[in-house]
Structure formats: structure tokens, C-alpha cells
Structure 1
Amino acid sequence: MSNLIIPQTPAASLTTSVASLARPVADFLAYHDLPTENVLNPVDERKTVIDAFENAISVLPKAEREKAYYLSKFVVAISVGIFDAALSYLWDETILALRRLVEQTDLPYFFDVAEKSPSRRSRLITAEDLPRIDDAVLIETCVRIGLLTGVNGERLRHINFMRNHASAAHPNVAELNGAEMVGWLSNCLRHAITAKPDPAALQMHHFLVTVRERAIEPADVTLHEQELRKMQADRVDDLLWTLFGMYADPNLAAQARTNIDRLAPIVWKLASDQRKFNVGVRHAEYARRSDVPRRDLAMAFLKNVGGEAYRATDILTADLIEKIRALRAAHNGQRNFYEEAAPAAALEESLPRNGVVPKPVLYDWVSIVAQCYIGNGLGYYEGVDRGALVFYEKYIERFGEREIVEFFAGDGRPGFRGRPDAAESPVASVDPREDTSRQSTGYLYSAGARSHHQDQS
């Protein structure tokens, strides 16, 4: 029995070799006057990784192990005691694995979510362009489209942080220990290298393929709406962004454009205000670059979903000025009492979503609404278009302090005139002891009421 030899496991054998190698390596470095402190990780830390390695890679199928050169390099780096190099090998393969995962989903959708800059987005077309995406953005986008859960995304973000601050990828003096290396190896293998696409991500891919390549009949829209309502809020936002980007492409097939016309209003209603404003800003970018085809298609998209109010402020201002001019022309026309309704209704489309009328157009806005509501004293109903009255009342209800200041200041300005037979000035009738907003809107209502009902007296 005393001659019994107990065979060592591969891990134990490697551990023994590591211990025997440590001293010669240190002596070799010292002989050449090279630093030996804080260069190689302690042997005990190396043993921690080696002992746990077999269990950590158990999730990796044998067929994949045979071509896992990154793991061979990882083990060699661990054995020598260069943990930062081992982390670099592991992370490089993790990123490659995530890119392979992305390739199995809808690539244009991924690029739309990952990159919002038009110039940079235009360079992202095929899988060969995936390396242009920063590692951190890659992880974030994989989380957004459902390839990674939020928790697993955080795990990989932490490893990415350590790779950037404690690996051989960048100069550093950080210390890594064996337990950390084992955990990172396990997380990378389980949540990236061996991961499969989430069914939700594949469902989005199939949906977008349908939009691009097949006809969506009006009868099918309700079924799609039911599925869209089940989506997470951030994925709805990303879908809206993708559909808008597709629609603004002049080369989009006619059938796909029709499909988006039918589906976009549903997605728009479900999306967040922030993403709607993003769409409005992109429309403005097309306009500033004089990209007329995309600008016009973007505007058609916004009109289809009822999103004109989400356009950029400068675009809204220019549009609102034009519509105020149209309303003023109608108001000054001989038949204004039944021609104001259409231009009055059109103003609503150009009002900012937040309700704040841009300063450059505020005076014109207040003056024309007030004038049209009071009437010009000419023709039927004292020059008030009864069909437009509901719009004027709604606009006046929204008057706040800014509008009231313009209303008071406007009395007597060129272009700000009420009916020729107006009994009194709004400024003269104000009691400074009372709320000015209430008094001014009250004046308008009373002045309007006189003209609206005078025909009955």
C-alpha cells in the first residue's frame, strides 16, 4: 500500500507546475534587472482560477471548445500570473460573441437603436460594420432590444469597466484576484458567448421583415396593434424611431411605405413624448441640410400620425407664422365670416406640444386670435366666423401670463385692432387689484359675446 501512487488531476498538476515556474520566472526577471513586484499574480490566486476552471466552462459544448483559442490563451495567461492579459482575451471573445448574437436579429433595427447621428448611422449597413459600435454602446443596445436582460447587461458593463481600467488593454496598476477572474469567466460564457437570441428580439425581427417585404392589410392592423401594446415602453420608442427612419428613406418600397402608414399611428400613440420630439428634431435636421426628399417624407410621416406639434421650435415658428398670415388674410377678406374655420383649425397643428408659443411669433399669435374672436364688425355676426369660434375659445383658454402681457401691450400697436366700435380698451378696464389673466380673458369673452349675440338684439 505504501507504493500506491495517486494520480493528480489536470488542475492539480498545472497548479504544481505553476508553483515550480514562479521562482524561475522571478529569477529570470531579476537577472535582467527587470521589476518583479506587482508583475505576476500570486500563485494562490492562480490556483483559485485553475481549480474552478472546469466547472466554469461546463456550459460550453465540446464542439465549441475545440475552437476556443481565447480560452487556451486565458489559461496560459492565468498560469503565468498575468491576469490582466487573461481578462483581455476573455473580453475580446465576449464582444465577438455579442456581435454574432446581433447578426441573428434585425441588423438595421439594431443600428437604428445604437446610433442616432445621421452621418454615423449612414455608415452602418452590414455585419462588417459592427466593430464601429463601441463596446459600451453594444451592450446597452443589446439590453434595449432584448438580447440581454438588464441584470446581465450590468454584469457585462462591470466587466467592460474592469477591462478598461484593470486589463492589459490599458496601462494600469490595479490588482485582480482569482475569485474575480472566475466570476467574469462564468458570466461571459453564460450570458454572451453561449447566449441565444431572446424570442422577443426575434419577434421584432420577424415583424420588421413583414413591414419591409409583405403587404399588411387593413384587417390585420388590429392584430398587430394587440402585439404592439404588449411591448415594453423603450422598445416601442425604438420601433417608432426605426419606422420613421425607414419612411424617410426615398428608396423605400411603396408597399413598405403603405405598411408604415397603417402601423405608425398606433406606434406613435404608444411612444413617449421624448421619442416623438426626437422625430421632430430629425425632421428639422433634414430641413437644415436641405435634404428635401427626406424632409418631405418626414413631414408626411408626422402628418400621418398627427405629430406636427413635435417638430423643432424653429420649424414650428416658421410654420406658425405662415398659418397666422393665412388666417389674417381670411379675417381681412370680404367673406371672412365663413372662411376662417380652416386656417383657424390649422393653427393647432403648429403649436408646440408643451403649449409654449415661440417668442418670435407670440405677438402675432395673440393679436390675430383676439381679433378673430372679437370680430371685425363687418358682415354676418359682426364679422365672426361661427365655425371657427370653437378654435378661438380653445386658444384663449390657454392664454397665460406671456400672452396676457402681449395682449395688453398690443392694444394700440399697428396690426392689433379690434372692432371699430369697441366700447372700451382692455387696458383701461383692468383693475390692478385683481388677477390680470382672469380679467384679460374675461374682457375678451365679454367683447366676443357682444359681437356673437349682437345679431339677435
Structure 2
Amino acid sequence: MKHEMIPATSSINPHQKENLNLKEIESGLMTYLQEMGLPTQSVLVPVEHRINVFRNLPSSLERLSNEGKSNSLYISKFVAAVTAGLFDSALNYLWDETINELRNRVIHYDINYFFDNAVKSQEKRKRLKDESDLDKIDDSELIYGSREIGLISELGFKHLDYIRYMRNWASAAHPNQNELTGLQLISWLETCINEVISLPLSNITIEIKKLLTNIKVNTISEEEAKQIATFFQDFSKEQANNLAQGLFGIYTRHDTTVQVRENIHRLLPFLWGFVDEETRNLLGVKYGKFVANNDQDEQNNARSFLEVVNAESYIPDGLRATEIETALENLLSAHRGINNFYSEPPLARELKRLVGDSSQVPQQINTNYVNTLVEVFLTNGNGVAWDAETIYLELIRQFNANQALIAILSFDNEIISSRLQHSLCQKKYKELLEIVRVKVTSQAVLELINAIEAFNGPLDKIKKDSSFERKVNALKQIIQ
């Protein structure tokens, strides 16, 4: 068979624009579409934008090892889609590569530790056993859970959350008329490579992985537990909270061995002092859910876990806290999904039914209740779930002064801060401030509201501003 020689001018050389044959390829494709009677307008992005991608592609791929490049199938598809001028498809392939890498990282870290931190619904959590269940985790849960256990950084989470938003609303995943530029696309490629695909694990994340393995396969003595406990002093608040939730998940599973529970017995008292009140309350609520669902083995194990650190006071007095917490979990799961405009309203009505006509919710879930309402009220950045928003407004207007303060300070919450990258969410947050302003009597809180409204920078950056950090730390002391 005789092979046809390919002219040099057909090669893609990012340094010699004149050698690009993209215009010729495009011209042939447009002619074919015309002959077929198909649209030719707004199908392909301009050649100049494609050149911008190819010009920056070599430096963007430098952080990938040769093995990493050879395994990056979706990046090859990304390049092919860029060549064709289909940037919406290219973004979709880039996201596929990122999600594929995150799943591999989760599998090679600790799958159950991931599930325990990523999945808030206990009912859903019970259905997740091993890596074959990862396809039951949606993208928002995957990146959120990866952040929780340290597989990506806070900054990486924020960037990925934005790219996920763009993938959902500006890629070929859904019909749209958004225009993407080459510089945007290459920037997102660099983010995915730097924050996920080539990102090394932090030392603490590696040590937590070793600890989880050690707990499951070895016997930890009292003396060894004391030595391990010195490591807890290097934890951030989030790392301590996440490890506590992971240990709770291990301890309460019915197939956990006696030896593993004894290891946790020895370690937990050292860790407990680093766990915040919100997480302690959450574990108490989880015990209440086991009681409500008549999960007797899990209930007994959860009770024993709390007894190790004399934490029975965190168990809810009644079942109302567990019912509201379940409603919050279901609402958040729907809100972060693709079809939230249709799935949110009935779940919002269920939450309203449980809360009633007052702002009184059990103390154990107060912060989560407020932050959940703020997140859903801010929207997903793309549009308002109109049938649910009237309910959110009604519940927010019922806030007491303490809940209003939690809502105002919600910009310090990592997920809500990420939402504030979007103009619609920024607008809704300022609307929220006006709603809760009437609840505020403290002059310091009113001054904070005025400072937020006068802030000239992007609202998603406000939590990192040193003057606001001081205000937040001072006002958090007011929250009971």
C-alpha cells in the first residue's frame, strides 16, 4: 500500500502561524455543511482562538510526566476538539480527564474515608461500598469530598467548582450559545493539570492515609497512640473534623473488627480536643439518625464512639433534629445536581413543613440549617429555582439575630465563597444582606454589613482580606 506524503503546511506549529492549515480544514468543513443544508454560523470558534491554545499548549503540558501524558486520553480528545474549533466539546473532554484523575486518586487513597466525608446523606452512604460505586457520586460531591480529605487544595476546589459550572452551562454537555475563548480554555487546562492531574499530595494528607491503613491492619498500643497524637497538633480545623468523621464511619460500620475499634478507642481522646462544636453536633445527629432508622448495630456502635470521649451530650433530645438534617441533606443534593430547578421545590416544601412558622431549629443543626439556606438562596449561578425561592425567602425572613449573623458570615464558608465567583450569586448575597439587616441590633454586625457592601474587590476574595478575617473571628464568638 502506497502512503501519501502529508505536506508540511498541514502540521500545527504554534510558533509559525503561517504554517497552520486550520483555515483550509475549516473551509472544507463549512463547504460540506453548506452542501448538506446544515447551519454554518456559530459552529466553530475563530481560528485565532485555536492558535492561542496551540501557542500555549506545550508549556501547559510541561508539568505532566511522560507516563501521565501517555495515559491522558481525554487531553488528546481535548486537543482534537480544539483543532476542529469545537471549544465546548474541548471543555467537556478536559472535565472528563479531571474527573477521571480525581476518581483514580480517591481509589488509591481510601475509598470509604472519601465516602464518609463526601456523602452527607446516611441513606445514600449505606449504598456505597467500594470503587465500583464511584459512578454513583456526582461531580460536585467528588470535588467537594476530594477537598475534604485533602486530595485538592482550597484554591483548587474553588477553581474546579468554577470550571464545573462552566462545563455544566457553557460546554457541549448542554445546549447553549456561550462563546469560549482560547485563553479561557488554556487557563482551565493549566488549572486542571496544576490542581489535580499533576498535584502531589501534601505531607499531612499522606500521613492521614498511612494512619487509616495502620488503624485497619495493625494493633495500636497506648504508647503508640500517644506518639501518633503528636501528629494531630499539625492539623487544620478541617483536617481534624474530617478525620473524626472518617473514624466515626469506620467505627460504626457493622463489618469493622473489634481490633480496629480498639485502635480508634485509643486514638479518639487525643483527637477530640481538635474537633469543633459543629462537627461534634453532627456526629450526635448521625447517632440520632441511626436511632430513627432503627439501625441497631450502627446505633450501638455510634453510642460507644461518643461514650469514649464523654460526648453523649451531643445526642439530640428528640428526632426533630435528625428529620431536619435529612431534609437539608436531600435539598443540598438536589441543588448541586443538574436538574435542580425541578427537584428543589418539593424538598424545599418538606423543609418548610419540618421547620414550621418559627425560626427555632435544634441547636445541633443551627449552623448547617442557615448555611444550607444561604447556599440554595444564592442559586447555582446559572438561574433561580423560582418555585423554591419563595420558600427560601420565607425561611430566611424567620431568622433570629443569631441565625442572621451566621448568614452574614457565610462568605467565610468555603462552598459559599466559591459560589460568590458568579455574578448572580453575588447579587443574591447582597439581597440576603438587606433581608437580614433588620434582624441585627449589634453595631459591630451592622458595620460588617456596611463594609461588605462597600468592598470593591470580588466577593469570593473577601474571606482572605485581613481586615475581614479579624472581624469574622471576633463576631464568631457571638454565635452560640
Q: TM-score range by the shorter chain?
A: 0.5 to 0.7
CA contact (8 A) 2:119 2:145 kept: no
Structure 1 counterpart SS, 2:273: helix
Q: Which amino acid aligns with 2:13?
A: P
Residue number in structure 2 paired with 1:206: 210
Residue number in structure 2 paired with 1:70: 74
CA contact (8 A) 2:13 2:20 kept: no
Cα distance in 2, alignment partners of residues 89 and 39 from structure 1: 18
CA contact (8 A) 1:243 1:260 kept: yes
Is it true that 1:169 corresponds to 2:193 in the alignment? Answer: no
After TM superposition, the score normalised by the length of structure 1 is: 0.64
Structure 1 counterpart SS, 2:109: coil
Is it true that 1:263 corresponds to 2:267 in the alignment? Answer: yes
Aligned residue runs from structure 1 range 364-403, under 5 A: none
CA contact (8 A) 2:12 2:21 kept: no
Cα distance in 2, alignment partners of residues 122 and 315 from structure 1: 20
Quote the sequence identity (%): 31
Cα distance in 1, alignment partners of residues 144 and 229 from structure 2: 27
Is it true that 1:10 corresponds to 2:21 in the alignment? Answer: no
Structure 2 counterpart SS, 1:229: helix
Deviation at 1:31, TM superposition (A): 2.8
Q: Which amino acid aligns with 2:273?
A: K
Cα distance in 2, alignment partners of residues 15 and 49 from structure 1: 15
Residue number in structure 1 paired with 2:151: 147
Residue number in structure 1 paired with 2:53: 49
Residue number in structure 2 paired with 1:248: 252
Q: Which amino acid aligns with 1:191?
A: E
Structure 1 counterpart SS, 2:61: helix
Residue number in structure 1 paired with 2:123: 119
Deviation at 1:223, TM superposition (A): 1.8
Residue number in structure 1 paired with 2:293: 289
CA contact (8 A) 1:106 1:204 kept: no
Structure 2 counterpart SS, 1:313: coil
Aligned match of 1:235 in 239, 256, 280?
A: 239
Deviation at 1:32, TM superposition (A): 2.6
Q: Structure 2 regions of 5+ residues with no counterpart?
A: 1-7, 322-361, 365-480
CA contact (8 A) 2:12 2:19 kept: no
Is it true that 1:216 corresponds to 2:220 in the alignment? Answer: yes
Change over 3 Å in CA distance of 1:75–1:300 after alignment to 2:
closer
CA contact (8 A) 1:105 1:197 kept: no
Deviations 1:230-278 (Å, cap 9, x if unpaired)? 2111111111112222222333212111122222222222211111111
Deviation at 1:167, TM superposition (A): 0.6
After TM superposition, the score normalised by the length of structure 2 is: 0.61
Deviations 1:96-135 (Å, cap 9, x if unpaired)? 0111122221221111101122221122222222222211
Aligned residue runs from structure 1 range 414-425, under 5 A: none
Residue number in structure 2 paired with 1:58: 62
Q: CA RMSD in A?
A: 2.5
Aligned match of 2:140 in 132, 136, 140?
A: 136
Q: Which amino acid aligns with 1:245?
A: G
Residue number in structure 2 paired with 1:304: 308
Deviations 1:370-421 (Å, cap 9, x if unpaired)? xxxxxxxxxxxxxxxxxxxxxxxxxxxxxxxxxxxxxxxxxxxxxxxxxxxx
Change over 3 Å in CA distance of 1:101–1:174 after alignment to 2:
same
Q: Which amino acid aligns with 1:22?
A: E
Cα distance in 2, alignment partners of residues 213 and 24 from structure 1: 63
Quick check: which has more Rg, 1 or 2? 1
User: Aligned pair count?
Assistant: 315
Q: Structure 1 regions of 5+ residues with no counterpart?
A: 1-5, 318-351, 355-457
Residue number in structure 2 paired with 1:29: 33
Change over 3 Å in CA distance of 1:285–1:23 after alignment to 2:
same
Aligned match of 1:96 in 92, 97, 100?
A: 100
Deviation at 1:67, TM superposition (A): 4.1
Cα distance in 1, alignment partners of residues 229 and 241 from structure 2: 15
Deviation at 1:219, TM superposition (A): 2.0
